[in-house]
Structure formats: C-alpha cells, structure tokens
C-alpha cells in the first residue's frame, strides 16, 4: 500500500483508532514566490537556475531585502522551507561584492555544521569563485586551523568553540574580526535557559571585539516556531530584530496522529509501554515500504528499537540493511554513510535520537514515528518536519508514554496545534553567568571606566567586585587582567556553575566509564551513597560519592526497589521584586530566594507497590543556592475551610499539577524548575506554594511563570478536571498515598478558590 | 534591595579576601637597566655567514650578517596560556656594541606602562635585521604581535629574519641530552651553573605579588633569571654556529650523527655526507653508513652504495638490513640475480638465528625476504630457460 491507502485503511482499523485521541489533517499549501531580487549577483542567479530554481520563496526574498537594508533579522519558518538560502544568499552576495568580507556561522551541534558546510560547498563550487568555507570545531586538525584563520571567508563553528578557542585568541583571527559582515545563528530556539543565557554573553563579548577591530556585523538568525522568536533574538543579540515569518515554501498534505497506548492499570494510570507500541506502528510502515524515521528519546531506546526492527526484517543471510540506527555516539563516518543511504533510498527506516532533529537534510521520508513526546512543541514539529520534505503526503504518529507531560499533550491537541504557547527564555543578566563572561571579556580586552558590558548598568559594580578579588587591576581608567590562567577554560556553556559532578560507572573494574554529569544542587537528591540511580532505564547503586572531587561512583544492580531522598528544603526570601493578587484575591509574589537543601535520610520504596521498605542515612553538607522564585500565599480565611490533612493534600496536589503544567508553557525540562509547598512557611507564616528556578541566579523561568500565573492555575485546574483517574494518579495531583483520599477533590476546590471561581460557600 | 556588591559577595563560597588597595605607582617610566658582558664570553663569532644560518635555520638571511646585526630576545610573561590576556611584563634584549655585549632589560612597573615599553621595543626591533630567540617562534613573537595589536601598534617592526635556536638544538642534541630546554642545554653544553635561580613557574605570581605590595626586591630574581637566559641564548647561538660550520671539531659522535641527519633534512647534502663520514669508526658508524648508502643509491651511485653496505656487513652493523638492501640493489639496479639471491639467502640465514627475538617486525622482514627469495628463484630459472 502507498501512504494514502495505508492511512485510509488505518481509519477503518478499530483497534488502532481506539487508541487515537486526535487525528489532524493539515491540507497541502501552495508556495508563494518572488522573482530574484534585481540587486542579487548574476552569478548566484545562474547557479540557482542551474539547479532548477527560477524564483525564490517569498520569505527568502524578504530575507534578502532586509539584508540589503542592513537590518538584523530572524527567519521563523518550519523545517524544509529552504531557510539556508535566507542566509547563504546575502552572505555569498556580500563576499562576491567584497572578497575581504567574512561571515561567522554558529550551529548548536557538530553534525549540523558539517551538513551545512557541505551544502555551502556545493554552492561555492558551482559559483567557481575563490570563496572558502570551513568548519572550525574540536575535530579540525591543527594544520588546517592556520589556513582557516587566514583565508576562511565563512567560518562555521559552535558557541563553545567561539567561547573557548576563538575569542580568547582573537588576535589570531584579525582578518575575520576586522572584516566580519555577518553573524549567522541557526536554530536559535535551542539557545534557551542556561545555554541561551551563556550564548547571549558570548555574543556580547564578540560584539565588543568587533568594535575594537572596527567591524559592525549584522545578525541573521533562524528559529523554529515558538511564541517569542523576536524577543529571544533580541535578548541573544542585544539588537533590534526584524521578523521574517510567512513561509513561502509549498507543503504537501500532512497528517498528525496522536496515539495513546491502552490503559493496563487504571488505578495507577499506567499504560502499555510506548516502545512496544512504537514497534508495532513502525513495523506496519516498514512492511509497506514507506520511508520512515523513528525518534526515540534515549540512546538505549534507539538500540532496542533498531535491534527489534532489524530482527523483524532479516533477509536470508541475516542482514537487514534497510533499517539503520542513528545516534550521537556514532562515528562521523558511520553517520555520513547513513545519511547517504537515506538520500539514495537504500535505507527505509532510520531510528534516531534527536541528533537528526535539527535541519540535517536526509532526503525524502514520508512518515515519522515519535516514541514519546519530545518535550517541546518546537522539537516535535522539527522532528515531524523530517517527513514530507518534498511535496507528497506525510504522516507523523506521536506515541505517548505514561509520563504526565505526554498525557497532557496527547489529551490537549489545542495546546499543541494552537498558536505556539512556548516561550524560549534567556536571562543574560543572571549574575553567575554574567560575571563569568565579564571575566572572559576583561581577559580579551581591558575594560575602560564607564564602559558597559552589553549595556548592563551594573558593569562598574561587577568590575569593582572582580578588582576586590584581585582578578582585575584598576588603574588609570582601565581594568587589567591580573591572573595567570585563561578564564574561559573553566566555564562550560552548558551549565550555570562550573561545579558539575561526573557520574562514573565502575561495574566493569577494567573499564570505568563516565556516563553522565549532574549539577551540584541535584546531586544530594539522586546521587547520595546507596541511592538507586536510574540511567537510560538501567538501575545503578551509588557506591561512593566524593563530594570534594565532584565524582559519583555507581555500579549496575538489579533490585526491586527505588530510593526516594527526603530533601529538607528551607527557603529564605532575600528580596521581593514584584507582587500581585490572583482573581481569587490570593497574594502572588516574585522574589529572590536562598534555597537551602539538606538530605538527611532516604526511603527505600518497593517498585510496584510503593511500600516503604526502610530508611537509610545520608551524610552530606547543606547546599545553598540563590535563585529567583515566585509564590502563592494562601490566606487564613481560605485555609480555615479545610482540615489540616485536606489542606496538605491539596497543597501536594496543586504543587504536582503546577510541576506538570509549568514546563509546557516555559519551554523547559521539568527538572529546570521546582514546585514545593510549605504548610506554614516561616516567612509568611501561612500555607505557601513556591515555584523557583533550579539554576543558581535563575534563568527567567520564574519571572515568566509569575507573569502567566493565572494561566498556569487554569491549566492545572483543567488537568485535574479532565483526568480520568478516581482519586489521583501521577498524571494529575499525584498518587492517592500522597494526597489522601479526598486529595483530588480538595485540590480542585483550592484551585478554583485561587482563581476566584468558587461560588457556593 | 540589597546592593549588587553585597549580592556578589554572598555568592562566594568563601568570603572574599580583603584586597589591598591599588597602590598608585610613583614611577611613571618603564624600568630599564643595562648590563655589560665582555665579548670574550662568546667564541667563534667570525664563522657567521648567511649560508651557515640557512643551513641551521632554513629560510633566507640577509646577504651579510655580523654579530652586531643580531638582537637576542626573551620575555617574561604573566602566564603561559598564550591567550590575549597574557602580558609580557619584562623584556630582555641582548646585542653587541663597541663596549661589549649588552643585556638591556625593560620592565613595566604596572600595566599602563606597557605601551611605552612596547615603543622602546619597537625602536630596538627596527635597529636589528635578525632576531634570535629560544622558542620565540611559537611563544614570544606571537605574544609580542598580540601585544602590539592590542595596543594598536603596527607589527611591521618585528625583524623579518628570525633564528629560533630551539628547533636546531632539538635536532642536534636531543639524541644525546634528551632534554632540550635552555636550562639543560646551557648546563650540558656551556657548563653554566645557576645559583638560586627563580623557577619559571613562579614568575607570574611573583609579578602579581609585586603589583599588590609594591616590593620590588623579588623582581630582581626575575631580572637575574632573564639576564642569564639572554647570555646563554647568545652563547648557545654561537656554539651552535661553530658546531655546524666545523663538524670536524665535534667530539660527541651522537651529535655528529644528529647534525648529519639535520643537514640531510635541510637539503644540505654535501654537509650531511661530510658529517656522516665523520662518524666512521664510532658506534654511530652503522647508522651513518646506512644513511649514506641510501643517499648514494638515490643519486645513482650504486657501486658506492654497495661498498657502504658491504662495509656494514663486514663490521656487523645491522647486517640483516645490509643484506636486504644489497639484494634490492643487485636485483633492481645492478641486475645481478645471482648475487641478489645470495644476499637474500644470507639474510634469511641470519634471521633464523635462535637468539633473535621473534617479534612482529622480525616476522615481517622474514616474510618480505622469503617473498623476494621466491621471486628471485623464479627469475633465475626463467633466465636459465631462455637461451
């Protein structure tokens, strides 16, 4: 069957349709085109014509026009809309006009930069001009580096290389920085939270050096569809940014199917495993030879799915070349080979982690199966966009897991298909991050009195602080670097503080291997000694936690319990920043918090029944974190209407619900924020629910949550009202054992009161 | 709202150290001193010639070079990372004047003096066509180039010709001395013994401490260290020149062999042959003859190559290699299959010695020889068939 036939037969298939919560058909759209701009170089036009391109999509032409007007802009279009031309055309034009002109391309991943450079090469080769484009990353050989610095017109790299290798050695890149005309940043929606806040500061440093070298580069940015692309682009670049929206590329008909595996345990709200369901959906596509990509959430899942799919399609010799796995850990050559196989049609099915999510061109696929919700709407569309890059029909099937986030999305198609509610947030002025980059920038070029770093008014005070600490020397109106080492070495763009713990698997004594890292604030919860730590669905026990050396040693085990650390959180309000009231007249406050956590004991819980099997002691010091948070203070008048137990159950429920809903709207991972309650908060002396950023200094999540707190409460109420469970489940207020018998009802009641919806008391 | 500074301080795990107030420097001029040394410290200065410098350092040199044209140069820096935030706070310059060899030292009392110091350096650079350093190509010169750039000064004053002693020193002395840092070279080759020398890794901290407390005394250690570096550098430079210009006077045969190899690598064939020949009669002879035979063969002097290899064989210098090389020569160049076969057989015989260690390399040689042996046998029987 072809895809159209298969889809109509699926509609008749009752057992399949029983699991489908939503089937959305997006009609095919015609393209919207524009003639080649008159000002575009004839040589470029000829190259495009040779490839069968005789007009531009409207958004490509718009981008070219804005570039001509010397504007900074962000292109917001979906996958497969030809957005690379949006930046390659202006950049190549600029270089043809001025052979000294330079451009810097930033991509978040290596695979992506390799792919973009190969596309760029093709254009340049066709142009037959002496234009050099190079990738500059960790894989670049030392001998090649010199040539890149001297002669590279277009240098393709990632933020980490820019931060740690290029900026601290900028005098080796004089040619680039003196002649920099364009800075191209693709996939900016991936630069959110800590990573984005770092990037914004790296760009502040870059702009400062460009000033020094007398260049004034313009920014061309690209983003997937999110609610605030312009705001994000402005926060990252510190410039006014014009948006290019309105996708001019034609699209084939696309089907989006939400598939929820059947319930197997109603009480606990547990469904059939997503991996097995994914397998059966994918096998059906493979049997019909429909080119398909399957996205799994972890490397292990990729391996499991690949092996099972390969087993199902073995030929007489035991080979199954039509199914390939693809994940981050593969060698570059293997990856290139798979990419080629896909483009050439020799491969029918690829099972991948999100390594393939970002715009790598892999040719024409018609179907996409997602094993679990990818975490954000933007990611989901990007993964879905891998299918149907050409004009024919495409289908995406989202197979939900039992996780609360998945269940929310699969039951709320409007959340998914409506205007994107996702906000990519960055906080470039997070003190920890700001200070780290201020150091780097001071290393790269001494600050002068009165100079502001990225326009930050607090710059003088920060410089003063660094001077007090003997890192800088303030003399004759300048701040000089006064340390031996390079500051960028110890700053990782992927975490807020430099103190990350490495997790070392010592199961095989001959081969200890690092399997992950964790920030120091989460370590006491999950990596205390004797904790059962889950990594890629495998159980490990923590044997030793070396707190000073920042190392946790774990060993694989097979036990029937999990551990749950009892974290004692005490919150201290440092500063109120803003406050308002909910419709129900409850005070909501935004402020700075000191979060002190100490873990003293942990519980051992039986896996299936959650019975308490006993306790263990944890001997770890208290950790303090300064962050930003918001809190709802429940007035006595409201609290008085419930018994103590009821109230506590409701607080648990509301906190649980907010923990589910907030990440959806803040476009962050559930562990990026924490929601806790206190029955009698020492500060307010009243029952209080706190939501705070789990990053030192905060990355803007709580501010946003504060501004949309009513929406969050409404969504929480909706979840609890629509959940099919009886007295609570992990997908809404939490299991009955936590909220108590009446928990679900009182949670709903309290939420209504907060929202001013409670009528009959 | 707590003040930002308080917030910053709260972030610290440990309380901030109280910083001594920045002490305004009274001196507003770059520190400068000159030390004179007698020219007699340096020997064989007359051997200098552009050809010799090309032999040693590669590249082109001015038509006429005299010792007065050379600027010996070394820096002391605030770090070794090589990034743009590293500053050369002290510069050591050595040059010959009618009054003797002068070491001129510049030191900035504080950061604002850097431009002035670099201007003095620029003036010195312009006076000398040839720069001589130890590891300056990778360290000092790129650093100075960065400093010029950061201070918006042209880098064109940096002498175009640069003799970096580290690379030839490594090529010539590594075999015998292993460690080729300036300290070891001066001790082993020049017999210099330093007393109370400041270890290099303490230099940045010593300078930062001075910036904080203004006590100049510890800096004298740095200046002394740097002064000795410059003198050693100049001595080493002339010592190197002498060795290369008069290989006959080299006592250490390992150095001769290394020199010969270095000359061969630089394309200085004549000098290389001369040095290899000088190894005759020493433990280095085998290596030297082997290299020579390869050179002769490459030049088409097959008989000369044969002689060298036969000599190796007689002396027992790497006889298996010699046999194999002879077999190759006889088979391909001299077209004497009989002899080729005989040398191959000889090599195989030697390889079957029970005392020989049986590792992979030996096995590989053996396989190659057996393959050669079989081929030669075929050739021989074929030529016997054809009348």
pLDDT for A545 equals 92
In CATH, what number is assigned to the domain containing residue B96?
Answer: 3.30.420.10
| A184, A505, A531, A601, A731 from A564: Cα distances, Å | 46, 21, 8, 9, 19
| Pair B237, B302 in one domain | no
DSSP state at residue A627 = E
Chain A neighbors of B1, CB-CB under 8 A: 575
pLDDT tens digits, B219-261 = 999 999 999 999 999 999 999 999 999 999 998 999 999 999 9
Residue B84 lies in a domain: yes
For residue B240, the distance in angstroms to the closest alpha carbon of chain A comes to: 29
Q: Which chain A residue has its CA at the smallest distance from B201's CA?
A: A484
Indicate yes or no: CB of A575 within 8 angstroms of CB of B17: no
Is residue A141 packed enough to be buried (19+ CB in 10 Å), middle (13-18) or exposed (0-12)?
exposed
Enter the tokens of residue B209.
Answer: 């401490």
For residue B129, the distance in angstroms to the closest alpha carbon of chain A comes to: 24
Cα gap A141→A156, rounded to integer Å? 15
Residue B153 lies in a domain: yes
pLDDT tens digits, B182-227 = 999 999 999 999 888 899 899 999 999 999 999 999 999 999 999 9
User: A residues 692-711 near B, CB within 8 Å?
Assistant: 696
| Pair B241, B294 in one domain | no
**Between residues A273 and A133, the one the model is more confident about:** A133
Cα gap A494→A485, rounded to integer Å? 21
Chain A neighbors of B83, CB-CB under 8 A: 168-169, 443, 486
| Pair B240, B310 in one domain | no
DSSP letters for A392-405: S-EEEEEE--SSHH
Q: What is the dihedral of CA A205, A211, A213, A217, to 10 degrees?
A: 90
Chain B neighbors of A168, CB-CB under 8 A: 81, 83-85
Percent of chain A with pLDDT over 90: 46
Confidence of residue B1 (pLDDT cuts 50, 70, 90): very low
Asked if A208 has any chain B CB less than 8 Å from its own CB, the reply is no
CB pairs under 8 A between A and B: 95
E strands in A641-760: 673-678, 688-693
For tokens 């009446």, name the residue: A742
Indicate yes or no: CB of A473 within 8 angstroms of CB of B211: yes
Chain B neighbors of A481, CB-CB under 8 A: 78, 85, 87
pLDDT for B2 equals 47
Cα gap B109→B112, rounded to integer Å? 8
Cα gap A391→A422, rounded to integer Å? 28
Chain A neighbors of B2, CB-CB under 8 A: 574-575
- End-to-end alpha carbon distance in chain A: 61
Residue B344 lies in a domain: yes
Asked if B21 has any chain A CB less than 8 Å from its own CB, the reply is no
Residue B314 lies in a domain: yes
Residue B5 lies in a domain: no
Q: Whole domain around residue B378: which residue ranges?
A: 287-385
Residue B21 lies in a domain: no
Cα gap B146→A445, rounded to integer Å? 11
DSSP letters for A536-581: TTEEEEEEEEETTTTEEEEEE---SEEEEEEEEEEEEEEEEEEEEE
Percent of chain B with pLDDT over 70: 93
pLDDT for A374 equals 87
A33-244 placed in CATH 3.40.50.720: no
Confidence of residue A584 (pLDDT cuts 50, 70, 90): confident
Chain A neighbors of B8, CB-CB under 8 A: 431, 435, 461-462, 465
pLDDT for A761 equals 44
Chain B neighbors of A486, CB-CB under 8 A: 79, 81, 83, 85
For tokens 């007249």, name the residue: A585
Indicate yes or no: CB of A473 within 8 angstroms of CB of B110: yes
Confidence of residue B92 (pLDDT cuts 50, 70, 90): very high
Non-local (6+) Cβ contacts of A341 within 8 A are A321, A324, A347
Residue B322 lies in a domain: yes
| Pair B102, B235 in one domain | yes
For residue B146, the distance in angstroms to the closest alpha carbon of chain A comes to: 6
| Pair B164, B51 in one domain | yes
Asked if A603 has any chain B CB less than 8 Å from its own CB, the reply is no
pLDDT tens digits, B156-184 = 999 999 999 999 999 999 999 999 999 99
DSSP state at residue A20 = E
User: B residues 137-176 near A, CB within 8 Å?
Assistant: 142, 145-146, 149-150
Class of the A572-593+624-754 domain? alpha beta
Q: Which chain B residue has its CA at the smallest distance from A576's CA?
A: B1
The CATH architecture that domain A252-417 belongs to is: 3-Layer(aba) Sandwich (3.40)
Is residue A549 packed enough to be buried (19+ CB in 10 Å), middle (13-18) or exposed (0-12)?
exposed
**Between residues A287 and A268, the one the model is more confident about:** A287
| Pair B172, B37 in one domain | yes
| ipTM field | 0.85
In CATH, what number is assigned to the domain containing residue B299?
Answer: 1.25.40.10
DSSP state at residue A581 = E
Question: Which one of B192, B222, B245 terminates a domain?
Answer: B245
Helix runs in A128-192, H state only: 142-151, 159-161, 174-178
| Pair B125, B73 in one domain | yes
Cα gap A496→A196, rounded to integer Å? 11
- Count structural domains, chain B: 2
Q: What is the pTM of this model?
A: 0.84
Asked if residue A329 has pLDDT above 80, the reply is no
- To test the contact with chain A by mutation, choose from B27, B80, B85 the residue with the greatest count of A C-beta atoms within 10 A, namely B85
DSSP letters for A44-88: HHHHHHHTT--SEEHHHHHHHHHHHTT--EEEE--TTS-THHHHH
What is the CB-side half-sphere exposure of residue B41 using CA atoms within 13 A? 20
- End-to-end alpha carbon distance in chain B: 110
| Pair B235, B301 in one domain | no
Identify how many contiguous H helices and E strands chain A contains and give both numbers.
26, 32
Residue B176 lies in a domain: yes
Confidence of residue B26 (pLDDT cuts 50, 70, 90): low
Domain boundaries, chain A: 33-244, 252-417, 431-490, 572-593+624-754
Averaged pLDDT score across all residues of chain B: 90
Query: Matching CATH topology for A33-244 and A252-417?
Result: yes
Beta bridge partners of B102: B36, B95
| Pair B292, B233 in one domain | no
Non-local (6+) Cβ contacts of B82 within 8 A are A169, B139, B142, B143
Asked if residue A328 has pLDDT above 60, the reply is no
Asked if residue A398 has pLDDT above 70, the reply is yes
Cα gap B260→B172, rounded to integer Å? 9
For tokens 């005789």, name the residue: A54
Cα gap B63→B67, rounded to integer Å? 13
Helix runs in A240-388, H state only: 274-287, 299-312, 332-344, 377-384
Percent of chain A with pLDDT over 70: 93
Indicate yes or no: CB of A484 within 8 angstroms of CB of B4: no
**Between residues A77 and A542, the one the model is more confident about:** A542
Mean pLDDT on A595-618: 83
For residue A189, the distance in angstroms to the closest alpha carbon of chain B comes to: 30
Asked if residue B119 has pLDDT above 80, the reply is yes
């Amino acid at each position: 069957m072809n895809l159209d036939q298969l889809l109509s037969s699926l509609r008749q298939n009752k057992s399949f349709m029983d699991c489908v919560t939503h089937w959305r058909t997006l009609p095919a759209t015609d393209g919207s085109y524009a003639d080649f701009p008159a000002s575009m170089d004839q040589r470029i036009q000829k190259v495009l014509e040779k490839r069968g391109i005789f007009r531009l999509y409207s958004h490509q032409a718009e981008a070219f026009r804005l570039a001509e007007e010397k504007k900074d802009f962000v292109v917001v279009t979906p996958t497969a809309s030809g957005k690379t031309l949006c930046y390659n055309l202006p950049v190549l034009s600029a270089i043809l006009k001025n052979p000294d002109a330079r451009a810097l391309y930033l991509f978040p991943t290596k695979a992506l930069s390799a792919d973009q450079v190969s596309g760029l090469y093709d254009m340049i080769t066709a142009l037959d001009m002496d234009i050099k484009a190079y990738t500059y990353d960790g894989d670049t050989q030392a001998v090649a580096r010199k040539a890149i610095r001297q002669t590279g017109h277009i240098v393709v790299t990632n933020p980490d290389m820019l931060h740690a290798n290029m900026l601290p050695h900028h005098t080796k890149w004089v040619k680039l920085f003196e002649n920099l005309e364009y800075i191209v940043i693709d996939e900016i929606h991936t630069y959110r939270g800590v990573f984005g806040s770092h990037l914004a500061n790296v760009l502040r440093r870059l702009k400062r050096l460009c000033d020094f070298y007398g260049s004034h580069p313009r920014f061309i940015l690209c983003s997937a569809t999110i609610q605030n692309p312009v705001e994000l682009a402005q926060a990252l670049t510190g410039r006014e940014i014009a948006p290019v929206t309105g996708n001019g590329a034609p699209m084939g008909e696309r089907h989006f199917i939400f598939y929820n595996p059947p319930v197997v345990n109603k009480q606990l709200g547990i469904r059939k495993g997503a991996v097995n369901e994914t397998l059966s959906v994918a096998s059906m596509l493979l049997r019909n030879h429909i080119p398909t990509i399957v996205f799994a959430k972890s490397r292990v899942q990729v391996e499991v799915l690949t092996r099972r799919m390969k087993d199902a399609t073995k030929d007489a010799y035991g080979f199954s070349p039509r199914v390939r796995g693809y994940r981050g850990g593969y060698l570059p050559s293997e990856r290139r080979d798979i990419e080629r196989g896909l483009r050439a049609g020799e491969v029918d099915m690829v099972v991948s982690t999100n390594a393939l999510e970002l715009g790598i061109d892999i040719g024409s696929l018609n179907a996409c199966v997602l094993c679990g919700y990818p975490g954000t709407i933007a990611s989901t569309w990007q993964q879905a966009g891998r299918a149907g890059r050409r004009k024919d029909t495409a289908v995406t099937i989202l197979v939900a897991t039992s996780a609360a986030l998945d269940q929310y999305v699969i039951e709320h198609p409007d959340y998914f298909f409506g205007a994107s509610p996702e906000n990519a947030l960055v906080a470039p002025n997070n003190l920890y991050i700001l200070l780290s980059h201020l150091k780097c920038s001071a290393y790269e070029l001494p600050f002068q009195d009165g100079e502001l770093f990225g326009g930050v008014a607090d710059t003088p005070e920060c410089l003063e602080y660094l001077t007090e600490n003997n890192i800088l020397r303030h003399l004759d109106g300048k701040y000089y670097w006064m340390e031996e080492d390079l500051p960028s070495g110890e700053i990782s763009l992927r975490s807020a503080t430099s103190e990350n713990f490495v997790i070392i698997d010592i199961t095989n004594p001959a081969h200890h291997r690092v399997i992950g890292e964790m920030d120091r604030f989460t370590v006491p919860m999950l990596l205390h000694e004797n904790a059962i730590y889950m990594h890629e669905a495998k159980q490990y026990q923590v044997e030793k936690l070396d707190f000073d050396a920042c190392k946790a040693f774990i060993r694989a085990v097979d036990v029937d319990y999990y551990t749950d650390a009892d974290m004692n959180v005490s919150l201290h309000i440092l500063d109120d920043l803003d406050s308002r009231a909910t419709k129900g007249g409850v005070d909501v406050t935004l402020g700075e918090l000191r979060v002190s956590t100490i873990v003293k004991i942990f519980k051992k819980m039986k896996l299936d029944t959650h019975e308490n099997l006993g306790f263990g002691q944890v001997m770890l010091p208290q950790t303090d974190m300064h962050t930003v948070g918001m809190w709802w203070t429940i007035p006595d008048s409201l609290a008085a209407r419930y018994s103590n137990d009821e109230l506590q159950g409701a607080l648990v429920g509301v906190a649980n619900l907010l923990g589910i809903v907030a990440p959806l709207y803040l476009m962050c991972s559930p562990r990026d924020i924490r929601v806790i309650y206190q029955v009698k908060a020492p500060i307010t002396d009243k029952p209080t629910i706190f939501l705070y950023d789990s990053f030192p200094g905060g990355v803007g999540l709580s501010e946003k949550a504060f501004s949309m707190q009513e929406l969050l409460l409404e969504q929480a109420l909706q979840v609890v009202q629509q959940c099919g469970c009886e007295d609570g489940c992990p997908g809404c207020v939490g299991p009955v054992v936590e909220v108590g018998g009446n928990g679900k009802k009182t949670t709903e009641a309290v939420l209504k009161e907060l929202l001013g919806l409670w009528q009959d008391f | 709202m707590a003040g930002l500074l308080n917030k910053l301080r709260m972030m610290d795990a440990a309380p901030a150290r109280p910083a001594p107030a920045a002490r305004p420097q009274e001196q507003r001029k770059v520190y400068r001193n000159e030390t004179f040394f007698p020219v007699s410290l340096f020997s064989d200065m007359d051997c200098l010639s552009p050809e010799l410098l090309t032999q040693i350092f590669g590249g082109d040199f001015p038509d006429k070079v005299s010792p007065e044209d050379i600027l010996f140069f070394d820096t002391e820096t605030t770090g070794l990372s090589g990034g743009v935030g590293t500053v050369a706070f002290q510069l050591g310059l050595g040059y010959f004047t009618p009054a003797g060899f002068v070491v001129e030292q510049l030191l900035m009392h504080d950061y604002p003096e850097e431009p002035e110091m670099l201007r003095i350096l620029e003036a010195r650079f312009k006076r000398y066509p040839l720069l001589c350093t130890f590891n300056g190509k990778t360290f000092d010169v790129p650093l100075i180039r960065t400093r010029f750039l950061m201070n918006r000064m042209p880098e064109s004053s940096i002498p175009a010709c640069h003799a970096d002693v580290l690379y030839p020193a490594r090529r010539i002395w590594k075999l015998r001395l292993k460690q080729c840092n300036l300290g070891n070279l001066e001790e082993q080759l020049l017999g210099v013994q330093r007393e109370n020398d400041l270890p290099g890794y303490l230099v940045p901290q010593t300078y930062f401490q001075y910036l904080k407390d203004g006590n100049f005394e510890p800096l004298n250690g740095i200046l002394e260290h740097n002064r000795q570096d410059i003198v050693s550098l100049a001595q080493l430079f002339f010592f190197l020149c002498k060795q290369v210009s008069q290989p006959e006077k080299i006592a250490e045969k390992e150095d001769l062999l290394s020199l010969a190899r270095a000359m061969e690598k630089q394309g200085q064939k004549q000098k290389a042959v001369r040095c290899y020949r000088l190894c005759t009669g020493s433990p280095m002879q085998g290596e030297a003859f082997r290299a020579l035979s390869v050179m002769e063969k490459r030049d088409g002097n097959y008989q000369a190559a044969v002689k060298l290899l036969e000599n190796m064989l007689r002396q027992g210098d790497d006889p298996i290699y010699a046999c194999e090389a002879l077999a190759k020569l006889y088979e391909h160049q001299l077209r004497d299959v009989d002899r080729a076969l005989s040398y191959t057989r000889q090599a195989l015989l030697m390889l079957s010695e029970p005392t020989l260690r049986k590792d992979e390399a030996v096995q590989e040689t053996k396989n190659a020889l057996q393959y050669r042996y079989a081929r030669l046998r075929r050739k021989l029987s074929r030529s016997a068939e054809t009348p």
